[in-house]
Structure 1
């Protein structure tokens, strides 16, 4: 043979070239194997595989409400995979999975001859499940013209090592937990929850086929975007299962007749249930994790370490609260825009628009680039396709940045917080109308004037400081030392000679009387009372505080009202109960924060609840009864601020305190009139709709069927007095009804009235 080669130079050179190519191949392969093109994980490293895992946020009942992740991955065990899911994968992706050792040589030969030599596209690929797993875990790098060869060889080496370390079932488990699906979703459990809102173990045959079919090209076969394309791919998977005898042909054909039905649940940061709540949880958990270390001494990472965050949130109540808010806000927004017509401040008030433009992130980023104002405005006037928020659905229009800013100025926003008054556990948290377009959280971040929702603090302080609930105060307007003259929203119909007891004055939210009660109680005493009920914000020492001119956070207002149904003890809203690692090990635990000192007496608590029940039964919140048909035991308080800028409602049941707010993000934009802007019209309906939905669901019977304790006979007798009484002839004669008399202040009026009460043997209840 050697002699023959020596006699034929061409054959000699052919052999040299052939051997050289083999040598080069082995050298090339060796350079890859030994890591000259990038380190290949060792067998030891492969035994300690650790992938980025999404942190899960769970509701009180354990239901998933959101995730924090770089890649949306939620690992599960092999025994949680239904058999038809495994069979669908093997039939479609790697029919000889249980026969090869990571590399299917028969498939590679088929690919070489059919796909490469014969250009037959139906020949399929040569990649095995194990090779795909290697690619899923370590990805691919760009090596230029040799990239595909180098990556394939690296994956082959990793695949062989994986097969030596793991059993076939373990490889399938790793594969399903790492494989990418559509919409930035990694792992079968995350995909199952996202596309069908169910755990992997509950997937039906046709649902499993949809997900497995997606693996061929995750975007191309995305069932959310391309449902028909996805359905046809599903049918291919079913036929493959029949081809390899995992299904009978009849079973496959029957499954093909089923429609493709998704139950899509987005767990992205901007979408899905409770996005404002999830963002606040993310902030709080991140702060906690900064103080913790794992077993390696490293900080935990909320995006990669697969933690589990348990919360107090009631999943179903949150869903109903969001529905109630959106239903009402869509109607209110229409009323709001219609009331202004062509004279809307977001159109006519150039200063408001200019300020909004300068606050925008786009304006500020261009300013940092050194552009002049004229140059910035020119760029902001350029039109481009933009998705705009609308209650009728998202719409894409060709608008400029300035057009977009103007569009959002007109929208009202909302906030709602519902808590368990016993421990402050947050049941529902709605920070705004849509987190995608309105990032500002009106529960956690906003402070607004609270209007008449402050009045119960005034009346509580009055009772605690010895004012009888049957004390009568005149509705007459009085001017105070700073020249301020409060009036009632219904002043046209009020008889200035009429006097009302505390219950009637509060239920009808009479401003003039609230200020008189404040002055008689003492401003300092009222502020002290509010502090004892958990109010921490600054409270100005002025008479107008009685009408809610103080700006409070929705959370602290909710906290203060819990004291009325929690034995005089306020509960601070809390929402994270514990944080665990992916194996269920406790990392941090949180307990409710409930005040230890009663803010007021039990008698005061019961009287105040009775007075706020009157607000619902016959006062400013009575539309809960006559319009929304609610028969629940409810106490409450409406609130409207000056110039109708803010609308509030506090709804109280024995087992739930719910506070809702409505207004424009720009405080210069108020409601056009009180009929629309008053709390009873702007904020109360959100609570009303929520209660209607809860009444229709037996799950909430503990809340909806709860009853307040009736007043004791002694307290009922204490409050047994006419709601109003009119000044007699002599009181009217000397009451100083003209403007000049009113401007002298209320002290002279009280002294005159006290004199005539004593003269005619009448109890002096104004002093």
Structure 2
């Protein structure tokens, strides 16, 4: 019996022996796999330096002067990292509760979770820790590989996870993981995800919002809140359940939060959408020039799409929003009136006026050849005949439409018809600047960047009309010591041939073709844009003097030294005009407009800081006299509508001329401008600490209102300025001035015309004699 028992025990010994041999071999084999993985046998492993600086593409961020993100430049990764201290506690709690409950108790590998995953073959949850998930995101991103490669990849993940835990704090690992994850819709990282899905910064996320984003970490494509809201809602509630399970929220809070609807504020971040689109595209061009001239220390060029630069700008996001809303409000109404006046019955050549069919055909052919479609097909090697034919074939397209909720509509038309369709829309440009610093506060280059990408602030240039007259007056006051109270007659005035370089006599007419015959003060003449008085002034000082002053005020393009420039025959853009007018508001000192104040790299190292460019152009008293002159425009001239609420009969169309409830009572200096045939409407408006220019017109000069009633600068451009300023004044934090312009301590130029009037009353015999002088 004893022998049988001994024999039986001996028969089991080989099995026990082989079990331990196999078990030991398995342990050694697994250990060897991890050892080989750490040595890089299965592929290159990240170095210490690589762990310190993992390869992640970072978007360049455009930051407003009030600290808001205006937009980003990126190719594939719209990523801006967020430090752990700027993450809300509820987000971190949701992450840990859902993805790695023992996160703070392990060193990269969760042993209990791993054993459970092996024992139940993953049916009761995986074993990946947050550190492992980060290592997978950063360094081991191969997908759909075989079992052998998957085991090797898992080993590499574990090794990297342990190294990450040694290298970083738990808080840093959480921040890195949330910053690296792709949430879809160009929402790379938690900051982009928070802004795109909820329209807010991560620090502002509510518990239920954090739960949505943490739920997406399982699979952002599968749990996409835009395409699969019900699935995401269920996933969010699972996350809230996990938070309650581990004591981060109470059961009562969980029940309450799970009953909430998923309140998204989907705000895609696109180069063509959002706030300050035209300015952002200007900044992109400016940056491309800057990186060419300013390489990295190693000689390599900065990449504005990948290197995570921070671009600090002068734009104030609140004022920018006010500007865009003012443009939208007025241009929508103005366009409705333009369409009303340009029906096929009222204008068979709409939107063109007063030109022949041949001229229209020339405009259309030119537009066709300049189009993106023509350039694209040319690059493809298409013949000119093929390209032209394609412009007359109907296709599906999405076009701009003021009457649609999204300002877009789907339609079918030929590309040639779409060119003509887009020419029916009036264009605009607006820029606002602080004259003392040159800081540009708002920049609107058009009505909709997605469909009208030409930036009329700085790319476009149109005739300035009467907005150029102040430079003529400035030359006269500066050189001849005229004052706003001096007077000149409103009679037909001709400048003889060969004088000041003109080849024939120049005899400008007033806009209404009439002459009052009265003596007009300079203040009254400028307020009412009297051409005859301006002609006399440029004759007295000479065009060269006017051009010299204009050049010193920032106009860089060539200006012909001929008398006709007095009436604004030269093309300028809004950028130049605002900078020049800033000289008047800044006591005669020109400050070049500035948009970018500082550039930092991703580590906060300052790469660029701007240096103001200034020039003394006018004395303080001359500048103040000019401001006083232009205050007359809003006190009794073409800008008077800023002061009153006035309304006549209304039509079925919202009347943009009658009914202007602005009621601005503070000191305002300004100048309207209207060019020939009402092709361009301008308004330049100033208060002591803000100068703003607005232009409105068609894509071609033949696209304009027929009458001066609607086509003048006071009707087309001034309302945008007024709406913008009213919005600014509603926010006291903006600090836009309502005070009077600062008067120099020793003013040598008389600006008080009331005293002259009193003296004249004593000298003149009859009241009728006073009619010869118009104040």
Range into which the TM-score falls when normalised by the shorter chain = 0.7 to 0.9
Equivalent runs, 1:338-417 vs 2, <5 Å: 338-342=340-344, 343-346=348-351, 349-391=360-402, 392=404, 393=406, 394-417=408-431
Is 1:704 aligned with 2:704? no
Is 1:82 aligned with 2:117? no
Is 1:487 aligned with 2:500? no
**Alpha carbons of 1:344 and 1:114: their partners in 2 closer, same or farther (altered >3 Å)?**
farther
**Alpha carbons of 1:321 and 1:518: their partners in 2 closer, same or farther (altered >3 Å)?**
same
Is 1:46 aligned with 2:48? no
**Alpha carbons of 1:565 and 1:159: their partners in 2 closer, same or farther (altered >3 Å)?**
same
Equivalent runs, 1:467-506 vs 2, <5 Å: 467=482, 469-476=485-492, 478=494, 481=497, 482=504, 485-491=507-513, 494-506=514-526
Contact 1:577 1:590 in 2 (8 A): yes
Contact 1:239 1:252 in 2 (8 A): yes
Q: 1:178 offset after TM fit, Å?
A: 1.1
Equivalent runs, 1:79-228 vs 2, <5 Å: 79-104=85-110, 123-138=124-139, 140-141=141-142, 151-223=153-225
Quote the residue 1:561 is aligned against. Answer: 581
Equivalent runs, 1:443-522 vs 2, <5 Å: 443-466=457-480, 467=482, 469-476=485-492, 478=494, 481=497, 482=504, 485-491=507-513, 494-522=514-542
Q: 1:435 offset after TM fit, Å?
A: 1.9
Q: 1:683 offset after TM fit, Å?
A: 0.9
Is 1:524 aligned with 2:524? no
Contact 1:426 1:575 in 2 (8 A): yes
Contact 1:452 1:637 in 2 (8 A): yes
**Alpha carbons of 1:252 and 1:411: their partners in 2 closer, same or farther (altered >3 Å)?**
same
Is 1:690 aligned with 2:724? yes
Q: 1:508 offset after TM fit, Å?
A: 0.6
Q: 1:256 offset after TM fit, Å?
A: 2.2
TM-score with structure 2 setting the length: 0.82
Say which SS state the counterpart of residue 184 (structure 1) adopts: coil
The alignment of Structure 1 onto Structure 2 pairs a total of residues equal to 713
Contact 1:458 1:526 in 2 (8 A): yes
Range with bigger deviation, 200-209 or 376-385: 376-385
Q: 1:687 offset after TM fit, Å?
A: 0.5
Say which SS state the counterpart of residue 615 (structure 1) adopts: helix
Contact 2:186 2:269 in 1 (8 A): no
Q: 1:638 offset after TM fit, Å?
A: 0.5
Say which SS state the counterpart of residue 73 (structure 1) adopts: coil
Q: 1:125 offset after TM fit, Å?
A: 4.4
**Alpha carbons of 1:602 and 1:212: their partners in 2 closer, same or farther (altered >3 Å)?**
same
Deviations 1:569-595 (CA, angstroms, capped at 9, x unpaired): 111101222222333332221122121
Q: 1:110 offset after TM fit, Å?
A: 5.9
Q: Of the candidates 641, 663, 682, which is equivalent to residue 623 of structure 1?
A: 641
Range with bigger deviation, 586-595 or 477-486: 477-486
**Alpha carbons of 1:292 and 1:707: their partners in 2 closer, same or farther (altered >3 Å)?**
closer
Deviations 1:344-391 (CA, angstroms, capped at 9, x unpaired): 545873333322221112212212333223322344455554332222
Quote the residue 2:750 is aligned against. Answer: 715
Quote the residue 1:611 is aligned against. Answer: 629
Contact 2:309 2:599 in 1 (8 A): yes
Q: 1:30 offset after TM fit, Å?
A: 8.7
Q: 1:612 offset after TM fit, Å?
A: 0.9
Q: 1:621 offset after TM fit, Å?
A: 1.1
Deviations 1:513-551 (CA, angstroms, capped at 9, x unpaired): 322322233222222222233322211223321110111
Quote the residue 1:72 is aligned against. Answer: 78
Contact 2:394 2:413 in 1 (8 A): yes
Contact 1:179 1:188 in 2 (8 A): yes
Contact 2:493 2:535 in 1 (8 A): no
Contact 2:34 2:156 in 1 (8 A): no
- Distance across 2 between alignment mates of 1:203 and 1:413: 39
CA RMSD of aligned residues (A): 3.8
**Alpha carbons of 1:57 and 1:706: their partners in 2 closer, same or farther (altered >3 Å)?**
farther
Deviations 1:247-271 (CA, angstroms, capped at 9, x unpaired): 2211111122334334555543222
Quote the residue 2:64 is aligned against. Answer: 59
Quote the residue 1:757 is aligned against. Answer: none
Contact 1:470 1:721 in 2 (8 A): no
Say which SS state the counterpart of residue 670 (structure 1) adopts: coil
- Distance across 2 between alignment mates of 1:601 and 1:42: 64
Q: 1:609 offset after TM fit, Å?
A: 1.6
Contact 1:470 1:719 in 2 (8 A): no
Contact 2:487 2:519 in 1 (8 A): no
Equivalent runs, 1:247-396 vs 2, <5 Å: 247-263=249-265, 265-294=267-296, 298-342=300-344, 343-346=348-351, 349-391=360-402, 392=404, 393=406, 394-396=408-410
Quote the residue 1:578 is aligned against. Answer: 598
**Alpha carbons of 1:111 and 1:373: their partners in 2 closer, same or farther (altered >3 Å)?**
farther
**Alpha carbons of 1:250 and 1:422: their partners in 2 closer, same or farther (altered >3 Å)?**
same
Is 1:549 aligned with 2:583? no
- Distance across 2 between alignment mates of 1:22 and 1:378: 73
Range with bigger deviation, 606-615 or 316-325: 606-615
- Distance across 2 between alignment mates of 1:593 and 1:673: 42
Say which SS state the counterpart of residue 56 (structure 1) adopts: strand
**Alpha carbons of 1:241 and 1:144: their partners in 2 closer, same or farther (altered >3 Å)?**
closer
- Distance across 1 between alignment mates of 2:49 and 2:591: 52
Contact 1:655 1:706 in 2 (8 A): no
**Alpha carbons of 1:670 and 1:4: their partners in 2 closer, same or farther (altered >3 Å)?**
farther
Equivalent runs, 1:28-43 vs 2, <5 Å: 38-43=43-48
Deviations 1:599-625 (CA, angstroms, capped at 9, x unpaired): 334333232222211111111111111
Range with bigger deviation, 524-533 or 610-619: 524-533
Range with bigger deviation, 635-644 or 167-176: 167-176
Range with bigger deviation, 495-504 or 135-144: 135-144
Say which SS state the counterpart of residue 572 (structure 2) adopts: strand
Unaligned runs of 5+ in 1: 726-760
Q: 1:476 offset after TM fit, Å?
A: 3.0
Unaligned runs of 5+ in 2: 1-7, 498-503, 645-659, 761-768
Q: 1:421 offset after TM fit, Å?
A: 0.9
Say which SS state the counterpart of residue 365 (structure 1) adopts: helix
- Distance across 1 between alignment mates of 2:414 and 2:235: 41
Deviations 1:215-261 (CA, angstroms, capped at 9, x unpaired): 23324544456555544432221112123332221111112233433
- Distance across 1 between alignment mates of 2:711 and 2:150: 65
Say which SS state the counterpart of residue 638 (structure 2) adopts: coil
